[in-house]
Structure 1
């Protein structure tokens, strides 16, 4: 038997409690707990009895041969790159066919207005133009609004089946009435509603139940499913965390509205790696693919003069090197004033660590200076090899001695002040040489570079000596 009961669920993390409270005990969010009706199974019915029999499952060997999944290109190269692929030996790479796996489920999140719907509408239109059956279901906009966006994107004549609906039962009934589409886009999962449960759309139970029904359809029919997800003010996907566990791939669409570029980054991928990114630029006709992302993140200096506090860093995103400019500004304060540390595009905790190493190991004083650090173009750097470039920018800004305009720097800094080699150094140097850079500050043991001049450094102190002219 089952009896009706009321439980209290946090809408931010999905935690369940027996009573209402103002703050969630799991995630600490305030005023996110709501009452939801549920069915509670009585203890005696919950116990499994082997006497009732069951179905014996067939076990397979891990060593059995398995064919690589076929992939469908979305027609958007940068989206295919972010979705990744698996090569014959189990690894990814630039020459591996990438795209959507039939029957897979992709969850894409990002800030409002970042371009999620635009990107998916472009992908849907190009897949339809390639002869695939595509369905686009919007729960946030009317069908005419989607048509107007398609007209702006030049997709007015794309053969995409369009609907504005929020009922999961109606959507699945419509899909089951004919051959399954190659791609089904749901924009967004927070607007979907399942009539098997009580509660408003967007609640934890509704998001979980709606996603489960849609995922079951995708797995059974072989249809590739893309779900659009809302994000919280902290940038995390809204709704229950279990939603990210249920899907095969999770993509985040990143970028600042004040900048034209957008970065599509995979944080989970069951059919490929999570080290690839797709780079787009927002234009008048929608999102445009960027073949050379370094051109977006390097500051143009028409006069050719070096500027103190600016250093170019060859970051690595998966197999793609991206050159960006690290900018630092150091301002001396009057005695007794409290210095400020401001960081944009990098980890503030890592900046504090690097400042401490420069003071303790190199004898530089930042205690009475304000420090401002920025990654040009709004790019976010997560590569630990950025330590050396950041340190060079800080030393250059403090001493007002510019780093040569045609030099790059990369390497990881240890707490002892030693420099550790960075991964795939040859790929970084090759990209820098291709863009016309003549030299690089790198840790000892770094190979490659070709015709570039390489300054191999053993410690952070050696870098300080080079930049200040002491060596």
Structure 2
């Protein structure tokens, strides 16, 4: 009988140690080391790896071509994946509990089953009856969609060989286990070995696999970081369970861009695609209000208009608060410093709150000018015609309004939504063509932009 030994493995990064440590030497995280039992080699053989028959050759002679993709029947999901689901790809989707991960993959699985053939849905957290109840509610019933409640990876592999599905869903990867390993499901050893099994199956059979993963309290992907490196695509579902909108982002994508987003609305019948996010996000906007303004951003190839709100109020705690939702707090502090130094606004004794309506996060510097104008409007009590004006531009430390990329695309989106005026960097004017229905008001510095609010 083989001698049984134990080792301690970090559940965050996979670092191994013969003894317990309070802090992992690999990732410096505290209390992440857990004991796992190790048996002899005679009792456990690792899953066979994918055997490749290719030989080294000059890169110029390698044939390149487009990947074969499945249409998931969900346009927003196709957009984030880069055009569809690549055959043989491993896709990991994460998000907070109740955000809609299982709903999305069940809708996608039903659509693929109806269009391409057998789909296997493996659930380690719900019974077949629970999955059927959700499918009835979502109207996602297909005769070629097979469901099973199982966590043993060896048994699951037998089902895959028996059904030969064109698409496999695993919900969730942290519940899988392999009998030969003594560690608990969700541990580093179990997750790595089970995912390696699935990767071998997917790559050798050219079958795409969707893996659902849990997240930590901080919203990060639970389990070892090596999991993200093993898969081809990592998707993340954002949003609040109390809000209607859900945003799907690609954090990693070997077959497409990571800058695209998919926007969904959670309804009783499931996740409904939002093809025009700007119209949905601006639907409840008031005619005019102090501290509210419409700004633009670009997510991949899609321009999006969102409402940004600012509230400036006298502080009562002795130390002013700076709170930002949907905006980088460091960027907010930079803009506040420019307003104080260059514009002479006495904001040192005021609390400042910034919120982007709808749960959208403003990436880049597109919204700098809008943030400054909203803060100024709230501080002075000057209303802004929110349904008429949009602001786009980056603010430098010298209070100059700098150019931003893809400005013409964002202005045309504002024109399509019926806005009448756009405040933008004057330096971008030469790059704008074909704009007829919206008045272009170029500004060189922050002083000119703030004066425009007072005069209009």
**Do both share a fold (TM > 0.5)?**
yes
- Partner residue in 2 for 1:6: 6
Question: 2:325 — aligned with what?
Answer: 344
Q: How far apart, in 2, do the equivalents of 1:441 and 1:254 lie?
A: 30
Supply the distance in 2 between the matched residues of 1:459 and 1:120 (Cα, whole angstroms).
48
**Is 2:112 the partner of 1:127?**
yes
Alignment map for 1:37-436 (pairs within 5 Å): 37-38=37-38, 58-63=55-60, 64-84=62-82, 98-178=83-163, 180-298=164-282, 300-301=284-285, 304=287, 306-333=288-315, 337-405=318-386, 406-436=388-418
For residues 173-216 of structure 1, the C-alpha deviation after alignment (integer angstroms, 9 at most, x for no partner) is 221234x3111000000000012322000011111111111011
Unaligned runs of 5+ in 2: 42-51
Say whether the 8 Å CA contact 1:399–1:468 is kept in structure 2: no
Q: Deviations over 1:119-142 (max 9, x none)?
A: 000011111111422110001101
SS in 2 for 1:202: coil
For the Cα contact (< 8 Å) 2:113–2:142, is it kept in 1?
no
Distance 1:32 1:464 in 2: 51
Distance 2:166 2:401 in 1: 50
> Are 2:295 and 2:392, in contact at CA under 8 Å, matched by a contact in 1?
yes
Query: Would you say the 8 A contact 1:299–1:376 is kept in 2?
Result: no
Q: Which moved more, 1:184-193 or 1:338-347?
A: 338-347
1:107·1:228 contact (CA, 8 Å) conserved in 2? yes
User: Which residue is 1:90 aligned to?
Assistant: none
How far residue 70 of structure 1 moved from its aligned partner, in angstroms, is 1.3
Q: Give the 3-state SS of the residue equivalent to 1:31 in structure 2.
A: coil
Question: 1:36 — aligned with what?
Answer: 36
Match of 1:464 among 437, 441, 450: 450
1:301 positional shift: 4.4
TM-score (norm 1): 0.89
- Give the gaps of 5 or more residues in structure 1: 42-54, 85-97
| Aligned pairs, number | 439
Q: 2:419 aligns with which of 433, 437, 440?
A: 437
- Structure 1 residues 76 and 301: alpha-carbon distance in aligned structure 2, compared to 1, 3 A threshold: closer
Judge conservation of contact 1:328–1:393 (CA < 8 Å) in 2: yes
Q: Is contact 1:108–1:253 with CA below 8 Å preserved after alignment?
A: yes
After superposing the two structures, state which structure 1 stretch, 6-15 or 183-192, moved more: 6-15
**Cα separation, 2, equivalents of 1:40 and 1:439:** 73
What SS class does the counterpart of residue 66 from structure 2 fall into? coil
1:143-186, CA deviations, whole angstroms, 9 ceiling, x for partnerless residues? Answer: 111011101111244420111000111111221234x3111000
- 2: CA distance between counterparts of 1:169 and 1:333? 61
Q: 2:47 corresponds to which residue?
A: none
Secondary structure in structure 2 of the residue aligned to 1:132: coil
What CA distance in whole angstroms lies between the structure 2 residues aligned with 1:353 and 1:169? 55
The offset of 1:463, in angstroms, is: 1.7
Structure-2-length-normalised TM-score: 0.91
Q: How far apart are the structure 1 equivalents of 2:95 and 2:421?
A: 38
Secondary structure in structure 2 of the residue aligned to 1:385: coil
For residues 295-343 of structure 1, what are the alpha-carbon distances to aligned partners after superposition, in whole Å with 9 as ceiling and x for unaligned? 23225346x3x10101101111101111110000001246x82221121
Within 2, Cα distance between the matches of 1:40 and 1:455? 74
CA–CA distance in structure 2, aligned partners of residues 125 and 316 of structure 1: 31
Shift of 1:24: 3.3
- Cα deviation for residue 391 of structure 1 reads 1.0
Counterpart CA distance in 2 for 1:158 and 1:424 is 46
**CA RMSD of superposed structures (Å):** 2.1
With over 3 angstroms needed to count, the CA separation of the structure-2 counterparts of 1:283 and 1:158, relative to structure 1, is farther
Question: In 2 relative to 1, CA 112–68 (structure 1 residues): closer, same or farther, beyond 3 Å?
Answer: same
CA distance in 2, matches of 1:40, 1:389: 64
